[in-house]
Amino acid sequence: MRSLLDFILRIHFLVLFLLIETFSIILLINNNNFQHAGVVNMSRQLSGRYYTRVSNIRQYLSLEEENNKLIEENTRLLNLLESTNKSNEVIYGNVLDTVLNQQYSYISAQIVNNSVNKKHNFLTLNKGLLHGIRPEMAVVSKDGVVGIVKGVSANYSTVISLLNLEYKISAKIKKNNYFGSLSWDGKNYRYATLNEIPLHADIQIGDTIITSGFSSIYPEGIIIGYINDFEEKTGSFYEIKIDLSVDFKNIRNVYVVSNLLQAEQNKIEEQIQ
């Protein structure tokens, strides 16, 4: 203890210098913004470097756990991706109008499965019961008629494509309202055939064919296609080759048309029969 005191006495000048100098520096740092910022900055850098080292070492120790976490995260994010999930978004277009009684309501949908090369082609849409889609609704795209809803599940619906041998649709020539029955011959997805147009009807190549609106399914006036060619068949009818306006190979967005008055129309028609 005594030798320690001796030692301190011997270096008292240095100790005193260090004390006063330290005091001065503390004054300096506490009272001058520039130096204060400098010290804070430096200490932050030092501590930052230290913590970086420590965390680098720790990272190795917890690498497996981290990997597992990342895998979980990846899975979760993949499940969130749009491509994995169905969009439940539905755009309804009901209009409240007392003068005009809205008859048709459109629901947007996307085609998730499609074919054109079979005899009985079907489409699958990403909307179903939950979105208000019911069987017997019409499906159209911006270019024209696509098909009719056949089966509906909660989230999906299947559509009988126009390109189906068993499907017939009531169509008419736009300029003179002669109507007939349109069907597909199962050969080329670009063409369909319109029958039952009488021979005295005035038709020309390029005339527009639209839906007749006679069925309770399609609204009137939706484009089906254009006359490509026609010939006289035995009897008194033309057989008209129709150039379909919808390119079934590249449709994606379609609208499902719901006829709000369908039930009423069907009911009254049944009464007559």
Partner 1 sequence: MIKDIPRYLVNFVVLITLQILIFNNIQLGGFINPYVYILFILILPFDIPKWFLLFIGFFLGITIDLFSNTLGMHSSACVFMAFLRPFILKIIAPREGYESETYPTVSYYGINWFLKYSLLLIFAHHTFLFFVEVFRFSDFFSTLLRIILSTIFSFFLIVVAQYFYRKQKRR
Closest CA to 221 of 168, 173, 178: 173
49 Cβ contact list (under 8 Å, min separation 6) = none
The tokens of 42 are what? 């430096």
**Residue 127 burial by Cβ neighbours in a 10 Å radius (0-12, 13-18, 19+):** buried
Segment contacting partner 1 (CB under 8 A): 9-17, 65-73, 108-116, 164-172?
A: 9-17
| 50-54: long-range pairs with CB below 8 Å, 24+ | none
Closer to partner 1 at the Cβ: 34 or 60? 34
Residue 140 phi/psi, 5-degree rounding, is -130, 160
Closer to partner 1 at the Cβ: 12 or 134? 12
Contact 225, 245 (CB under 8 A): yes
Closer to partner 1 at the Cβ: 22 or 67? 22
128 secondary structure, DSSP code: -
Where would I find the H helices in the chain?
2-10, 12-31, 33-61, 63-80, 262-272
Q: Least CB distance from residue 71 to partner 1, whole Å?
A: 45
How far apart, in whole angstroms, are the C-alpha atoms of residue 245 and residue 141?
Answer: 10
Residue of 12, 118, 119, 134 interacting with partner 1 (CB under 8 A): 12
What does the longest C-alpha to C-alpha distance in the chain come to? 136
By CB under 8 A, residue 45 contacts partner 1: no
Residue of 3, 31, 84, 117 interacting with partner 1 (CB under 8 A): 31
Segment contacting partner 1 (CB under 8 A): 16-24, 130-138, 195-203, 257-265?
A: 16-24
Residue of 8, 11, 17, 236 interacting with partner 1 (CB under 8 A): 17
How far apart, in whole angstroms, are the C-alpha atoms of residue 144 and residue 171?
Answer: 12
Closer to partner 1 at the Cβ: 20 or 260? 20
Query: Count residues contacting partner 1 (CB under 8 A)?
Result: 19
By CB under 8 A, residue 44 contacts partner 1: no
Q: Least CB distance from residue 82 to partner 1, whole Å?
A: 51
By CB under 8 A, residue 13 contacts partner 1: yes
By CB under 8 A, residue 21 contacts partner 1: yes
By CB under 8 A, residue 269 contacts partner 1: no
Place of tokens 């007559």: 272
Residue of 10, 11, 32, 177 interacting with partner 1 (CB under 8 A): 32
By CB under 8 A, residue 11 contacts partner 1: no
Place of tokens 């039952």: 196
By CB under 8 A, residue 74 contacts partner 1: no
Residue of 8, 11, 16, 63 interacting with partner 1 (CB under 8 A): 16
Residues that bind partner 1 (CB under 8 A): 12-13, 16-17, 20-21, 23-32, 34-35, 38
